[in-house]
Structure 1
Protein backbone atom coordinates (compact mmCIF):
# COMPACT_ATOMS: atom_id res chain seq x y z
CA UNK A 1 0.00 0.00 0.00
CA UNK A 2 1.25 3.52 -0.79
CA UNK A 3 0.28 7.01 0.29
CA UNK A 4 -2.50 8.87 -1.53
CA UNK A 5 -4.36 5.64 -1.98
CA UNK A 6 -8.13 5.91 -1.78
CA UNK A 7 -10.09 3.94 0.75
CA UNK A 8 -11.72 1.99 -2.07
CA UNK A 9 -8.39 0.78 -3.43
CA UNK A 10 -7.10 -0.02 0.05
CA UNK A 11 -10.28 -1.96 0.74
CA UNK A 12 -10.00 -3.97 -2.50
CA UNK A 13 -6.41 -4.90 -1.75
CA UNK A 14 -7.24 -5.82 1.82
CA UNK A 15 -10.02 -8.16 0.72
CA UNK A 16 -7.58 -9.99 -1.54
CA UNK A 17 -5.05 -10.31 1.26
CA UNK A 18 -7.61 -11.64 3.72
CA UNK A 19 -9.00 -14.04 1.15
CA UNK A 20 -5.51 -15.40 0.58
CA UNK A 21 -5.07 -15.86 4.33
CA UNK A 22 -8.17 -18.04 4.50
CA UNK A 23 -10.39 -15.59 6.37
CA UNK A 24 -14.01 -16.73 6.12
CA UNK A 25 -15.66 -13.39 5.31
CA UNK A 26 -12.87 -11.15 4.00
CA UNK A 27 -15.10 -8.41 2.58
CA UNK A 28 -16.99 -7.84 5.83
CA UNK A 29 -13.87 -7.92 7.97
CA UNK A 30 -12.00 -5.57 5.63
CA UNK A 31 -14.84 -3.04 5.81
CA UNK A 32 -15.04 -3.20 9.61
CA UNK A 33 -11.31 -2.66 9.92
CA UNK A 34 -11.32 0.16 7.35
CA UNK A 35 -14.04 1.98 9.27
CA UNK A 36 -11.97 1.56 12.42
CA UNK A 37 -8.84 2.94 10.73
CA UNK A 38 -10.77 5.89 9.33
CA UNK A 39 -12.45 6.55 12.70
CA UNK A 40 -15.86 6.52 11.05
CA UNK A 41 -19.05 4.52 11.31
CA UNK A 42 -19.38 1.57 8.97
CA UNK A 43 -22.59 3.01 7.56
CA UNK A 44 -20.62 6.04 6.33
CA UNK A 45 -17.90 4.10 4.51
CA UNK A 46 -19.53 4.50 1.11
CA UNK A 47 -19.38 8.28 1.60
CA UNK A 48 -15.63 8.39 2.24
CA UNK A 49 -13.98 5.45 0.45
CA UNK A 50 -13.33 7.43 -2.72
CA UNK A 51 -11.24 9.96 -0.79
CA UNK A 52 -7.45 9.55 -0.41
CA UNK A 53 -6.44 8.03 2.92
CA UNK A 54 -4.01 9.88 5.13
CA UNK A 55 -0.65 8.22 5.69
CA UNK A 56 -1.57 7.67 9.34
CA UNK A 57 -4.87 5.96 8.51
CA UNK A 58 -3.24 3.89 5.80
CA UNK A 59 -0.49 2.70 8.13
CA UNK A 60 -3.04 1.80 10.78
CA UNK A 61 -5.14 -0.09 8.24
CA UNK A 62 -2.11 -2.09 7.14
CA UNK A 63 -1.47 -3.04 10.76
CA UNK A 64 -5.10 -4.06 11.28
CA UNK A 65 -5.16 -6.18 8.14
CA UNK A 66 -1.87 -7.86 9.09
CA UNK A 67 -3.40 -8.82 12.45
CA UNK A 68 -6.47 -10.25 10.75
CA UNK A 69 -4.28 -12.19 8.31
CA UNK A 70 -2.71 -13.76 11.40
CA UNK A 71 -6.30 -14.81 12.20
CA UNK A 72 -6.69 -12.60 15.24
CA UNK A 73 -10.45 -12.09 15.75
CA UNK A 74 -11.83 -8.76 14.55
CA UNK A 75 -13.32 -8.07 17.98
CA UNK A 76 -9.89 -8.34 19.60
CA UNK A 77 -8.31 -6.15 16.93
CA UNK A 78 -10.79 -3.30 17.36
CA UNK A 79 -11.44 -4.10 21.02
CA UNK A 80 -15.23 -4.27 20.83
CA UNK A 81 -18.05 -6.70 20.09
CA UNK A 82 -21.73 -5.86 19.79
CA UNK A 83 -24.01 -8.07 21.92
CA UNK A 84 -27.76 -7.62 22.37
CA UNK A 85 -27.53 -4.08 21.04
CA UNK A 86 -24.63 -2.93 23.23
CA UNK A 87 -20.87 -2.78 22.73
CA UNK A 88 -18.61 -4.78 25.04
CA UNK A 89 -14.87 -4.41 25.35
CA UNK A 90 -13.02 -7.57 24.29
CA UNK A 91 -9.42 -8.61 25.00
CA UNK A 92 -7.47 -11.88 24.62
CA UNK A 93 -8.38 -12.59 28.28
CA UNK A 94 -12.07 -13.18 27.53
CA UNK A 95 -14.28 -15.06 25.12
CA UNK A 96 -15.63 -13.13 22.18
CA UNK A 97 -19.40 -12.73 22.82
CA UNK A 98 -21.32 -14.70 20.24
CA UNK A 99 -24.81 -14.21 18.80
CA UNK A 100 -25.89 -17.68 19.97
CA UNK A 101 -25.39 -16.60 23.58
CA UNK A 102 -28.15 -14.02 23.17
CA UNK A 103 -30.57 -16.95 23.53
CA UNK A 104 -29.61 -17.08 27.22
CA UNK A 105 -30.79 -13.47 27.52
CA UNK A 106 -34.07 -14.12 25.72
CA UNK A 107 -34.91 -17.08 27.95
CA UNK A 108 -33.91 -15.30 31.15
CA UNK A 109 -36.12 -12.32 30.33
CA UNK A 110 -39.20 -14.54 29.97
CA UNK A 111 -39.71 -14.40 33.75
CA UNK A 112 -39.01 -11.65 36.30
CA UNK A 113 -35.94 -11.76 38.54
CA UNK A 114 -34.30 -9.41 41.04
CA UNK A 115 -30.95 -11.03 41.83
CA UNK A 116 -28.65 -12.76 39.31
CA UNK A 117 -25.46 -14.82 39.60
CA UNK A 118 -23.25 -15.16 36.51
CA UNK A 119 -20.58 -17.86 36.81
CA UNK A 120 -17.58 -17.46 34.51
CA UNK A 121 -18.65 -13.98 33.45
CA UNK A 122 -15.82 -13.17 30.98
CA UNK A 123 -16.75 -9.85 29.36
CA UNK A 124 -19.81 -9.70 31.59
CA UNK A 125 -22.02 -9.65 28.50
CA UNK A 126 -24.67 -11.98 29.93
CA UNK A 127 -25.02 -10.45 33.39
CA UNK A 128 -24.63 -6.83 32.31
CA UNK A 129 -27.17 -7.24 29.52
CA UNK A 130 -29.67 -8.74 31.96
CA UNK A 131 -29.13 -5.85 34.37
CA UNK A 132 -29.40 -3.27 31.59
CA UNK A 133 -32.69 -4.79 30.46
CA UNK A 134 -34.17 -4.88 33.99
CA UNK A 135 -33.81 -3.28 37.41
CA UNK A 136 -32.10 -6.34 38.88
CA UNK A 137 -28.77 -6.55 40.70
CA UNK A 138 -26.11 -9.16 40.09
CA UNK A 139 -22.90 -10.91 41.08
CA UNK A 140 -20.27 -11.72 38.45
CA UNK A 141 -17.63 -14.36 39.15
CA UNK A 142 -14.66 -15.63 37.22
CA UNK A 143 -11.54 -17.58 38.09
CA UNK A 144 -9.59 -15.13 35.92
CA UNK A 145 -8.82 -11.77 37.54
CA UNK A 146 -7.95 -10.39 34.08
CA UNK A 147 -11.41 -11.34 32.82
CA UNK A 148 -13.03 -9.68 35.83
CA UNK A 149 -11.12 -6.50 35.06
CA UNK A 150 -12.64 -6.51 31.56
CA UNK A 151 -16.12 -7.12 33.01
CA UNK A 152 -15.67 -4.26 35.50
CA UNK A 153 -14.73 -1.95 32.66
CA UNK A 154 -17.80 -2.96 30.71
CA UNK A 155 -19.98 -2.37 33.78
CA UNK A 156 -18.53 1.13 34.09
CA UNK A 157 -19.11 1.85 30.40
CA UNK A 158 -22.75 0.79 30.76
CA UNK A 159 -23.26 2.69 34.06
CA UNK A 160 -24.06 -0.53 35.90
CA UNK A 161 -21.40 -0.56 38.63
CA UNK A 162 -23.93 0.36 41.32
CA UNK A 163 -25.89 -2.82 40.60
CA UNK A 164 -22.99 -5.21 39.99
CA UNK A 165 -20.59 -7.06 42.31
CA UNK A 166 -17.48 -8.95 41.24
CA UNK A 167 -15.80 -11.90 42.97
CA UNK A 168 -12.83 -13.98 41.88
CA UNK A 169 -14.02 -17.54 42.36
CA UNK A 170 -13.54 -21.00 40.91
CA UNK A 171 -17.21 -21.74 40.31
CA UNK A 172 -18.97 -21.60 43.71
CA UNK A 173 -15.84 -21.93 45.87
CA UNK A 174 -15.62 -18.35 47.16
CA UNK A 175 -19.23 -17.20 46.86
CA UNK A 176 -20.67 -16.37 50.29
CA UNK A 177 -24.05 -17.90 51.21
CA UNK A 178 -26.86 -15.97 49.54
CA UNK A 179 -29.91 -16.60 47.37
CA UNK A 180 -30.50 -15.74 43.73
CA UNK A 181 -33.61 -15.78 41.53
CA UNK A 182 -31.49 -16.64 38.51
CA UNK A 183 -28.13 -18.31 37.88
CA UNK A 184 -26.63 -18.10 34.40
CA UNK A 185 -23.43 -19.44 32.89
CA UNK A 186 -21.68 -19.92 29.59
CA UNK A 187 -19.08 -22.38 30.90
CA UNK A 188 -16.16 -23.94 29.02
CA UNK A 189 -17.72 -26.92 27.27
CA UNK A 190 -15.62 -27.85 24.24
CA UNK A 191 -14.12 -31.33 24.53
CA UNK A 192 -10.35 -31.79 24.42
CA UNK A 193 -10.73 -33.66 21.13
CA UNK A 194 -12.91 -30.97 19.51
CA UNK A 195 -10.41 -28.25 20.45
CA UNK A 196 -8.16 -29.49 17.66
CA UNK A 197 -10.86 -28.81 15.05
CA UNK A 198 -11.58 -25.18 15.99
CA UNK A 199 -10.90 -22.28 13.65
CA UNK A 200 -7.59 -20.49 14.30
CA UNK A 201 -9.48 -17.40 15.49
CA UNK A 202 -10.78 -19.42 18.43
CA UNK A 203 -8.08 -22.05 18.98
CA UNK A 204 -5.10 -19.68 18.80
CA UNK A 205 -6.49 -16.42 20.18
CA UNK A 206 -9.16 -17.04 22.81
CA UNK A 207 -8.36 -18.20 26.39
CA UNK A 208 -8.31 -21.99 26.48
CA UNK A 209 -9.56 -22.06 30.05
CA UNK A 210 -12.77 -20.38 28.91
CA UNK A 211 -13.17 -22.77 25.98
CA UNK A 212 -12.52 -26.25 27.35
CA UNK A 213 -12.47 -27.94 30.75
CA UNK A 214 -10.74 -30.92 29.14
CA UNK A 215 -12.11 -34.41 28.75
CA UNK A 216 -15.59 -34.64 27.28
CA UNK A 217 -16.42 -31.00 28.13
CA UNK A 218 -19.27 -31.89 30.47
CA UNK A 219 -17.52 -31.46 33.83
CA UNK A 220 -18.71 -27.88 34.51
CA UNK A 221 -22.35 -28.92 34.16
CA UNK A 222 -21.98 -31.42 36.99
CA UNK A 223 -20.59 -28.64 39.17
CA UNK A 224 -23.34 -26.22 38.15
CA UNK A 225 -26.29 -28.55 38.57
CA UNK A 226 -25.06 -30.03 41.86
CA UNK A 227 -24.23 -26.70 43.52
CA UNK A 228 -26.75 -24.23 42.09
CA UNK A 229 -29.66 -25.40 44.30
CA UNK A 230 -27.83 -24.11 47.40
CA UNK A 231 -27.89 -20.61 45.91
CA UNK A 232 -31.37 -20.53 44.36
CA UNK A 233 -34.60 -19.33 45.90
CA UNK A 234 -37.59 -21.68 45.52
CA UNK A 235 -38.61 -21.60 41.86
CA UNK A 236 -35.33 -19.95 40.97
CA UNK A 237 -33.85 -20.80 37.58
CA UNK A 238 -30.57 -22.13 36.24
CA UNK A 239 -29.83 -21.32 32.58
CA UNK A 240 -26.64 -22.52 30.87
CA UNK A 241 -25.24 -22.43 27.37
CA UNK A 242 -24.15 -25.80 25.94
CA UNK A 243 -22.41 -27.30 22.94
CA UNK A 244 -24.60 -28.30 20.02
CA UNK A 245 -24.32 -32.02 20.87
CA UNK A 246 -24.65 -31.84 24.67
CA UNK A 247 -28.39 -31.24 25.13
CA UNK A 248 -29.49 -34.72 26.26
CA UNK A 249 -26.58 -35.22 28.66
CA UNK A 250 -26.90 -31.80 30.32
CA UNK A 251 -30.71 -32.05 30.55
CA UNK A 252 -30.25 -35.39 32.32
CA UNK A 253 -27.89 -33.76 34.82
CA UNK A 254 -30.52 -31.08 35.55
CA UNK A 255 -33.17 -33.74 36.15
CA UNK A 256 -30.91 -35.90 38.33
CA UNK A 257 -30.10 -32.84 40.45
CA UNK A 258 -33.83 -32.28 41.07
CA UNK A 259 -34.63 -29.46 38.64
CA UNK A 260 -38.14 -29.27 37.18
CA UNK A 261 -39.36 -27.84 33.87
CA UNK A 262 -36.06 -28.82 32.26
CA UNK A 263 -35.91 -27.60 28.67
CA UNK A 264 -33.39 -27.71 25.84
CA UNK A 265 -33.69 -24.65 23.58
CA UNK A 266 -32.35 -24.30 20.05
CA UNK A 267 -30.42 -21.40 18.51
CA UNK A 268 -31.09 -19.74 15.15
CA UNK A 269 -29.16 -22.53 13.39
CA UNK A 270 -31.55 -25.07 14.96
CA UNK A 271 -28.80 -26.50 17.18
CA UNK A 272 -29.30 -27.28 20.86
CA UNK A 273 -27.79 -24.26 22.62
CA UNK A 274 -29.27 -23.68 26.09
CA UNK A 275 -30.55 -25.88 28.91
CA UNK A 276 -32.75 -24.38 31.61
CA UNK A 277 -34.53 -25.63 34.68
CA UNK A 278 -36.48 -24.47 37.74
CA UNK A 279 -35.47 -25.37 41.28
CA UNK A 280 -38.51 -26.47 43.24
CA UNK A 281 -37.64 -27.45 46.82
CA UNK A 282 -38.76 -30.95 47.73
Structure 2
Protein backbone atom coordinates (compact mmCIF):
# COMPACT_ATOMS: atom_id res chain seq x y z
CA UNK A 1 0.00 0.00 0.00
CA UNK A 2 1.49 3.36 -1.02
CA UNK A 3 2.59 5.64 1.81
CA UNK A 4 1.55 9.21 2.37
CA UNK A 5 2.38 11.73 -0.32
CA UNK A 6 3.81 15.19 0.25
CA UNK A 7 0.44 16.75 -0.58
CA UNK A 8 -1.38 14.63 2.00
CA UNK A 9 1.25 15.23 4.66
CA UNK A 10 1.18 18.96 4.02
CA UNK A 11 -2.61 19.08 4.29
CA UNK A 12 -2.56 17.15 7.57
CA UNK A 13 0.11 19.39 9.07
CA UNK A 14 -1.71 22.54 8.01
CA UNK A 15 -4.93 21.24 9.59
CA UNK A 16 -3.15 20.66 12.91
CA UNK A 17 -1.68 24.14 12.91
CA UNK A 18 -5.01 25.70 11.95
CA UNK A 19 -6.68 23.87 14.82
CA UNK A 20 -4.04 25.32 17.15
CA UNK A 21 -5.06 28.84 16.10
CA UNK A 22 -2.14 29.64 13.80
CA UNK A 23 -3.37 31.99 11.08
CA UNK A 24 -0.69 31.19 8.50
CA UNK A 25 -1.10 27.46 8.98
CA UNK A 26 -0.58 26.21 5.43
CA UNK A 27 2.36 28.51 4.75
CA UNK A 28 4.10 27.46 7.96
CA UNK A 29 3.36 23.79 7.34
CA UNK A 30 4.98 24.15 3.91
CA UNK A 31 8.10 25.73 5.41
CA UNK A 32 8.32 23.03 8.06
CA UNK A 33 7.88 20.20 5.58
CA UNK A 34 10.54 21.66 3.29
CA UNK A 35 12.82 22.02 6.34
CA UNK A 36 12.61 18.36 7.36
CA UNK A 37 12.67 17.16 3.74
CA UNK A 38 15.83 19.14 3.03
CA UNK A 39 14.42 21.02 0.06
CA UNK A 40 13.03 24.42 -0.91
CA UNK A 41 9.35 25.04 -0.28
CA UNK A 42 8.82 25.52 -4.02
CA UNK A 43 10.13 21.97 -4.59
CA UNK A 44 7.12 20.57 -2.74
CA UNK A 45 4.91 21.40 -5.72
CA UNK A 46 6.79 19.00 -7.96
CA UNK A 47 7.00 16.39 -5.21
CA UNK A 48 3.29 16.66 -4.34
CA UNK A 49 2.29 13.17 -5.45
CA UNK A 50 5.51 11.44 -4.39
CA UNK A 51 5.54 9.12 -1.38
CA UNK A 52 7.29 10.44 1.73
CA UNK A 53 9.81 8.40 3.68
CA UNK A 54 8.95 7.24 7.19
CA UNK A 55 11.89 9.29 8.48
CA UNK A 56 10.51 12.50 6.98
CA UNK A 57 6.99 11.74 8.22
CA UNK A 58 8.32 11.27 11.76
CA UNK A 59 10.43 14.45 11.62
CA UNK A 60 7.48 16.44 10.26
CA UNK A 61 5.23 15.15 13.02
CA UNK A 62 7.79 16.30 15.59
CA UNK A 63 8.11 19.86 14.25
CA UNK A 64 4.35 20.24 13.84
CA UNK A 65 3.91 19.16 17.46
CA UNK A 66 6.43 21.80 18.54
CA UNK A 67 4.66 24.52 16.58
CA UNK A 68 1.28 23.49 17.99
CA UNK A 69 2.63 24.37 21.45
CA UNK A 70 3.36 27.84 19.96
CA UNK A 71 7.11 27.46 19.89
CA UNK A 72 8.16 30.11 17.36
CA UNK A 73 8.60 28.95 13.79
CA UNK A 74 11.99 30.69 13.67
CA UNK A 75 13.26 28.64 16.61
CA UNK A 76 12.14 25.40 14.98
CA UNK A 77 13.77 26.29 11.66
CA UNK A 78 16.81 27.64 13.51
CA UNK A 79 17.18 30.68 11.25
CA UNK A 80 15.23 33.69 10.05
CA UNK A 81 15.72 36.39 7.43
CA UNK A 82 16.18 40.02 8.38
CA UNK A 83 17.07 42.87 6.02
CA UNK A 84 18.09 40.33 3.37
CA UNK A 85 20.45 38.44 5.71
CA UNK A 86 20.08 35.02 7.30
CA UNK A 87 20.35 34.93 11.11
CA UNK A 88 20.52 32.13 13.63
CA UNK A 89 17.47 32.39 15.87
CA UNK A 90 16.79 30.67 19.20
CA UNK A 91 15.65 31.36 22.74
CA UNK A 92 18.82 33.28 23.64
CA UNK A 93 17.57 36.55 22.11
CA UNK A 94 14.59 38.27 20.54
CA UNK A 95 13.64 37.00 17.10
CA UNK A 96 14.57 39.55 14.40
CA UNK A 97 11.29 40.89 13.04
CA UNK A 98 10.38 42.78 9.85
CA UNK A 99 9.08 45.80 11.78
CA UNK A 100 12.63 46.46 12.99
CA UNK A 101 13.94 46.89 9.44
CA UNK A 102 12.80 50.53 9.44
CA UNK A 103 15.14 51.11 12.40
CA UNK A 104 18.05 49.92 10.24
CA UNK A 105 16.91 52.18 7.41
CA UNK A 106 16.76 55.13 9.81
CA UNK A 107 20.32 54.43 10.92
CA UNK A 108 21.67 53.98 7.40
CA UNK A 109 20.21 57.34 6.40
CA UNK A 110 22.61 58.96 8.89
CA UNK A 111 25.72 56.95 8.00
CA UNK A 112 27.47 58.32 4.90
CA UNK A 113 28.64 55.67 2.45
CA UNK A 114 32.39 55.20 2.24
CA UNK A 115 33.07 56.69 5.68
CA UNK A 116 34.87 54.77 8.47
CA UNK A 117 32.22 55.43 11.10
CA UNK A 118 31.87 53.55 14.39
CA UNK A 119 28.40 52.20 15.22
CA UNK A 120 27.20 50.78 18.54
CA UNK A 121 24.16 48.60 19.17
CA UNK A 122 22.94 48.68 22.78
CA UNK A 123 21.23 45.45 23.79
CA UNK A 124 22.34 43.83 20.55
CA UNK A 125 20.58 40.50 21.16
CA UNK A 126 20.94 38.43 18.00
CA UNK A 127 23.11 41.16 16.48
CA UNK A 128 20.65 41.72 13.64
CA UNK A 129 20.60 45.53 13.74
CA UNK A 130 24.38 45.89 13.90
CA UNK A 131 24.94 43.21 11.27
CA UNK A 132 22.47 44.75 8.82
CA UNK A 133 24.10 48.16 9.18
CA UNK A 134 27.65 46.86 8.72
CA UNK A 135 26.61 44.71 5.75
CA UNK A 136 25.43 47.87 3.98
CA UNK A 137 28.29 50.12 5.10
CA UNK A 138 31.50 48.16 4.35
CA UNK A 139 33.75 50.96 5.63
CA UNK A 140 32.03 51.05 9.03
CA UNK A 141 32.94 49.14 12.18
CA UNK A 142 30.86 48.50 15.25
CA UNK A 143 30.28 46.98 18.65
CA UNK A 144 27.28 45.30 20.15
CA UNK A 145 26.67 45.76 23.87
CA UNK A 146 24.86 42.89 25.57
CA UNK A 147 24.24 42.12 29.25
CA UNK A 148 23.11 38.54 28.61
CA UNK A 149 26.05 36.15 28.06
CA UNK A 150 23.78 33.83 26.08
CA UNK A 151 22.59 36.58 23.74
CA UNK A 152 26.13 37.91 23.38
CA UNK A 153 27.26 34.46 22.24
CA UNK A 154 24.45 34.34 19.66
CA UNK A 155 25.42 37.79 18.35
CA UNK A 156 29.02 36.64 17.91
CA UNK A 157 27.85 33.55 16.02
CA UNK A 158 25.76 35.66 13.66
CA UNK A 159 28.52 38.19 13.07
CA UNK A 160 30.91 35.34 12.30
CA UNK A 161 28.64 33.49 9.88
CA UNK A 162 27.93 36.76 8.05
CA UNK A 163 31.65 37.49 7.69
CA UNK A 164 31.51 40.61 9.86
CA UNK A 165 33.67 39.59 12.82
CA UNK A 166 36.67 41.50 11.47
CA UNK A 167 34.69 44.76 11.76
CA UNK A 168 32.57 44.08 14.83
CA UNK A 169 32.92 42.96 18.42
CA UNK A 170 30.51 42.28 21.27
CA UNK A 171 30.94 43.83 24.72
CA UNK A 172 29.72 41.56 27.52
CA UNK A 173 27.93 43.65 30.11
CA UNK A 174 25.27 46.34 30.56
CA UNK A 175 25.39 49.59 28.60
CA UNK A 176 25.81 51.47 31.88
CA UNK A 177 29.33 50.05 32.16
CA UNK A 178 30.25 50.42 28.50
CA UNK A 179 33.13 52.84 27.94
CA UNK A 180 32.78 53.88 24.27
CA UNK A 181 29.85 56.29 24.41
CA UNK A 182 32.09 59.12 23.26
CA UNK A 183 33.52 57.14 20.34
CA UNK A 184 30.35 56.15 18.50
CA UNK A 185 29.17 58.16 15.50
CA UNK A 186 25.79 56.45 15.79
CA UNK A 187 24.16 54.44 18.57
CA UNK A 188 21.20 52.22 17.79
CA UNK A 189 19.03 50.31 20.24
CA UNK A 190 15.92 48.17 20.39
CA UNK A 191 15.59 48.23 24.19
CA UNK A 192 12.95 46.52 26.34
CA UNK A 193 9.77 48.61 25.95
CA UNK A 194 6.78 46.46 26.92
CA UNK A 195 4.86 47.77 29.94
CA UNK A 196 5.32 45.24 32.76
CA UNK A 197 1.62 44.63 33.32
CA UNK A 198 1.14 43.90 29.61
CA UNK A 199 3.69 41.07 29.53
CA UNK A 200 1.12 38.40 30.42
CA UNK A 201 -1.05 39.39 27.44
CA UNK A 202 1.63 38.96 24.79
CA UNK A 203 1.37 36.27 22.11
CA UNK A 204 2.62 32.95 23.53
CA UNK A 205 5.40 32.83 20.94
CA UNK A 206 6.76 36.04 22.49
CA UNK A 207 5.74 35.69 26.14
CA UNK A 208 6.95 32.12 26.56
CA UNK A 209 9.98 32.05 24.28
CA UNK A 210 11.61 35.49 24.02
CA UNK A 211 13.83 36.48 26.98
CA UNK A 212 11.73 38.47 29.45
CA UNK A 213 14.64 40.80 30.19
CA UNK A 214 14.65 41.86 26.53
CA UNK A 215 10.93 42.69 26.64
CA UNK A 216 10.00 44.16 30.01
CA UNK A 217 10.43 47.93 29.99
CA UNK A 218 9.14 48.58 33.49
CA UNK A 219 5.96 50.11 34.82
CA UNK A 220 5.55 52.50 31.88
CA UNK A 221 7.80 50.78 29.33
CA UNK A 222 10.31 53.62 29.40
CA UNK A 223 12.96 52.49 31.91
CA UNK A 224 15.59 51.61 29.30
CA UNK A 225 14.96 54.77 27.28
CA UNK A 226 15.46 56.94 30.35
CA UNK A 227 18.78 55.30 31.13
CA UNK A 228 20.13 55.38 27.57
CA UNK A 229 19.06 59.00 27.02
CA UNK A 230 20.65 60.05 30.31
CA UNK A 231 23.91 58.26 29.56
CA UNK A 232 23.93 59.43 25.96
CA UNK A 233 23.31 63.06 26.85
CA UNK A 234 26.24 62.95 29.26
CA UNK A 235 28.76 61.04 27.15
CA UNK A 236 27.92 60.89 23.43
CA UNK A 237 30.15 62.96 21.24
CA UNK A 238 28.71 66.14 19.69
CA UNK A 239 26.95 65.47 16.41
CA UNK A 240 26.49 61.72 17.04
CA UNK A 241 23.11 60.15 16.27
CA UNK A 242 20.88 58.06 18.52
CA UNK A 243 18.35 55.72 16.89
CA UNK A 244 15.69 53.87 18.91
CA UNK A 245 13.08 51.28 18.09
CA UNK A 246 9.90 52.21 19.97
CA UNK A 247 6.48 50.76 20.67
CA UNK A 248 3.56 51.96 18.55
CA UNK A 249 2.34 54.35 21.28
CA UNK A 250 5.67 55.67 22.58
CA UNK A 251 6.54 58.42 20.10
CA UNK A 252 5.55 61.33 22.31
CA UNK A 253 7.05 59.88 25.49
CA UNK A 254 10.45 58.98 23.99
CA UNK A 255 10.61 62.20 21.97
CA UNK A 256 9.93 64.10 25.19
CA UNK A 257 12.78 62.35 26.99
CA UNK A 258 15.17 63.21 24.15
CA UNK A 259 14.04 66.83 23.97
CA UNK A 260 14.39 67.31 27.74
CA UNK A 261 17.93 65.89 27.56
CA UNK A 262 18.90 68.43 24.90
CA UNK A 263 18.88 66.22 21.81
CA UNK A 264 18.03 67.88 18.50
CA UNK A 265 16.72 66.97 15.01
CA UNK A 266 14.23 64.52 16.55
CA UNK A 267 12.16 62.64 13.97
CA UNK A 268 10.00 59.51 13.82
CA UNK A 269 9.55 56.88 11.11
CA UNK A 270 6.70 54.42 10.62
CA UNK A 271 6.95 50.69 9.98
CA UNK A 272 5.21 48.86 7.13
CA UNK A 273 2.03 48.70 9.18
CA UNK A 274 1.95 52.48 9.56
CA UNK A 275 2.87 52.40 13.25
CA UNK A 276 5.46 54.67 14.85
CA UNK A 277 8.56 52.46 15.06
CA UNK A 278 11.85 54.39 14.95
CA UNK A 279 12.98 57.63 16.55
CA UNK A 280 16.15 59.44 15.49
CA UNK A 281 17.86 62.23 17.43
CA UNK A 282 21.21 64.02 17.36
CA UNK A 283 23.49 65.12 20.16
CA UNK A 284 24.01 68.86 19.62
CA UNK A 285 27.17 69.77 17.74
CA UNK A 286 27.88 72.63 20.14
Alignment gaps of 5+ in structure 2: none
The residue that corresponds to 1:245 in the other structure is 249
The residue that corresponds to 2:55 in the other structure is 56
Q: 2:267 aligns with which of 263, 266, 270?
A: 263
Distance 1:153 1:231 in 2: 30
* Structure 1 residue matching 2:43: 3-state secondary structure: helix
Matched ranges for 1:113-124 at <5 A: 114-124=117-127
Q: 1:175 aligns with which of 166, 173, 179?
A: 179
Distance 1:156 1:217 in 2: 33
CA contact (8 A) 1:169 1:175 kept: no
| Deviation, structure 1 residue 231 | 4.6
The residue that corresponds to 1:131 in the other structure is 134
Distance 1:213 1:279 in 2: 24
Alignment gaps of 5+ in structure 1: none
Most deviating of 91-100 and 227-236 = 227-236
* Structure 2 residue matching 1:172: 3-state secondary structure: helix
Q: Does 1:30 align with 2:29?
A: yes
**Count of matched residue pairs:** 281
| Deviation, structure 1 residue 176 | 4.6
- Encode CA deviations 1:90-119: one digit per residue, 9 max, x unaligned: 111110111010001111111225110000
Q: Say what the alpha-carbon RMSD is for the aligned residues.
A: 1.5
CA contact (8 A) 2:145 2:178 kept: no
* Structure 2 residue matching 1:37: 3-state secondary structure: helix
Residue 244 and residue 3 in structure 1: after superposition, are their counterparts in 2 closer, same or farther (change >3 A)? farther
The residue that corresponds to 1:45 in the other structure is 44
* Structure 1 residue matching 2:269: 3-state secondary structure: strand
Distance 2:222 2:48 in 1: 48
Q: State the TM-score, normalizing by the size of structure 1.
A: 0.96
- Encode CA deviations 1:124-145: one digit per residue, 9 max, x unaligned: 0000110011121001011101
The residue that corresponds to 1:89 in the other structure is 88
Q: State the TM-score, normalizing by the size of structure 2.
A: 0.94
